[in-house]
Structure 1
Amino acid sequence: MDSRLHIIAGHKAGKSYVKDLFVSPPFRVVSVGQRKNDNKLYQIIMSSSPGILDGDRYQLDIELEKGSALQLQSQSYQRLFNMKDEAVQQLNISMEDNTSFAYVPHPVVPHEDSNFKSKANINIGENSQVIMAEIITCGRKHYGELFKLKKFQNLTEIYHKDKLMVKDNVLIQPDLIPIKSIGNLEEYTHQGTLIFYTTKKNVDKNELIEIIYTQIESQHEMEIGISAMEDNGFIIRALGNGGEVMYNFFRKVQEILWELE
């Protein structure tokens, strides 16, 4: 199935709003309400499908007009079903100046023989910031499907003024790269990545890293590391054995970063 989602976030009278929205099945986008009195836009992506199926092609286009702030949320865990061929997803995010975008979805559950490739292209304007996260599980652990997927790949590229600033490529392919080998997942079953990049001049990445470390110190169920970028941003990597713990941790980090002015 070829499916498309297109959201344009506008900004007027100091508030962010849905300026335009187009979805095709199985997508649906619903407002979750503004949990805070911050005039930012909060939307949840929902799906009538139980998961991503063989041959599915998802096209997601998100535009943020000048001054807007959009936080997307997911409905539930994303399942990747058994596939003979593959499924693909393309995510394009266009951010004008003075914008903020965040997307910390629920974990991905790759079933046996699933084959999924996702690519995200993000173009960020001046005085803006982006938060992107992803959590990959081992599959249906209670069904004995520990990393029985064919392949999972997620490539993320962030551009500023047509220059590539961030490139992150997550690849899990058990027949090519042994999952439990040293330097890979070893004894862990879940892997998480959170990318933060900003073009705001008043944001101190080192100060933010120190604040996040206070959250890490309270975590005893995961191994977590932060890599500072040469530019103004960082990447968090997490390894663990439970999706919910990792998801809740990334949500806490998102809350810290989302409040930045």
Structure 2
Amino acid sequence: MPRVTGSVRAEFSASGGATRLERSVHSYPLKIAKTFSFPNRQLGVYVMDASPGMMAGDRYELSWHFGEAANVFVTNQSYTKVHPSVPGAGGASEQRQKLVLEQGAYVEYMPEPVTLYKDARFRSATDVVLAPGAALVMSDIVCPGRLHRGELFQYEQYRSRLTVWLEEEPIYQSRQRLEPAASEVEAAGRFEDYTHLASFYVFSDRIGPDTTGMLRGALELFMEAGAPVYCGVSSAVKHGVIVSALGRRVIDLERVVETAWTAVRRELFGQPPLKVPK
């Protein structure tokens, strides 16, 4: 098993309506430099990576604990760049994450896209545990290589797993495994002429029978405006809604995520769009 080459463990608490980073431990090349005050008393957190990207055999571990009524936005400073998996040099790059949200915690976990370089192998596993009344908004975008270098679908393997529990009850799980050399990713019913993949998730007991339709309506208006994307909306077993999208450019999928995110903030949580400082 690959050794851990970078880690972050962070704990957040809330008191008097204000959220603070209670405790943070990190190991190079990952760290949390500082936190920022966002609107609505939300705490902004940026994860820094001092390396040029994930090398063959690297393993990142991120553990997040959000205390009762914590209000936190988490992202990272730049794309996660996955370098080639060199034979005999440790195999795949791995990232493991765990998010625990206590009662009433509200978390937006919106990392920058993952870029899979030629010959890259990347495995991602994320576990989420929600207490009653907690809410998680999360997204991810996957790029199929450095297109300006002609690396379209030249990575070796991409594997991803997301599992969500409401207390001890599993309410959602997804698994993806892409191996371009072993399958025709551009065949009908797969990516076709699309290249980039995005997912947007919301888990909250505020989700009702109209939430899926609300998101579909917001995305239909976006696509009717000429956006070159393909989107679908589905539901978890309970308290969850998922947007899946295909596109040809990161910027188009970022707009899909922004459209869904804005609708969710407005309709479910009564909040205006969040303008994230870059």
1:236 and 2:239 are equivalent in the alignment = no
1:83 and 2:89 are equivalent in the alignment = no
Q: Aligned letter for 2:146?
A: R
TM-score with structure 2 length normalisation?
0.87
Which ranges in structure 1 are unaligned for 5 or more consecutive residues? none
What is the aligned partner in structure 2 of residue 248 from structure 1?
Answer: 255
What is the aligned partner in structure 1 of residue 28 from structure 2?
Answer: 25
Find the aligned partners of 1:153 and 1:229 in 2 and give their Cα distance: 21
Secondary structure at 1:165 match in 2: strand
Q: Tell me if structure 1 keeps the 8 A contact 2:171–2:236.
A: no
What is the aligned partner in structure 2 of residue 103 from structure 1?
Answer: 109
1:218 and 1:42, CA in 2 relative to 1: closer, same or farther beyond 3 A?
farther
Secondary structure at 1:237 match in 2: strand
What is the aligned partner in structure 1 of residue 202 from structure 2?
Answer: 196
1:258 and 1:53, CA in 2 relative to 1: closer, same or farther beyond 3 A?
farther
Find the aligned partners of 1:219 and 1:22 in 2 and give their Cα distance: 45
Q: Aligned letter for 1:197?
A: F
What is the aligned partner in structure 1 of residue 61 from structure 2?
Answer: 59
What is the aligned partner in structure 2 of residue 134 from structure 1?
Answer: 140
Q: Aligned letter for 2:81?
A: R
Report the CA distance between 1:217 and its aligned residue: 3.8
What percentage of aligned pairs have identical amino acids?
A: 19
Find the aligned partners of 2:42 and 2:226 in 1 and give their Cα distance: 30
Q: Tell me if structure 1 keeps the 8 A contact 2:171–2:237.
A: no
Give the aligned length. 260
TM-score with structure 1 length normalisation?
0.92
What is the aligned partner in structure 1 of residue 98 from structure 2?
Answer: 92
Q: Tell me if structure 2 keeps the 8 A contact 1:130–1:198.
A: yes
What is the aligned partner in structure 2 of residue 11 from structure 1?
Answer: 14
Report the CA distance between 1:91 and its aligned residue: 0.2
Find the aligned partners of 1:247 and 1:151 in 2 and give their Cα distance: 23
1:113 and 2:119 are equivalent in the alignment = yes
Q: Aligned letter for 1:168?
A: S
Report the CA distance between 1:174 and its aligned residue: 1.1
Secondary structure at 2:218 match in 1: helix
Find the aligned partners of 1:212 and 1:9 in 2 and give their Cα distance: 33
Q: Aligned letter for 1:18?
A: L
Per mean C-alpha deviation after superposition, the further-off stretch among 129-138 and 55-64 is 129-138
Report the CA distance between 1:6 and its aligned residue: 0.8
Which ranges in structure 2 are unaligned for 5 or more consecutive residues? 271-278
1:201 and 1:235, CA in 2 relative to 1: closer, same or farther beyond 3 A?
closer
Q: Tell me if structure 1 keeps the 8 A contact 2:245–2:256.
A: no
1:176 and 1:125, CA in 2 relative to 1: closer, same or farther beyond 3 A?
same
Secondary structure at 1:238 match in 2: strand
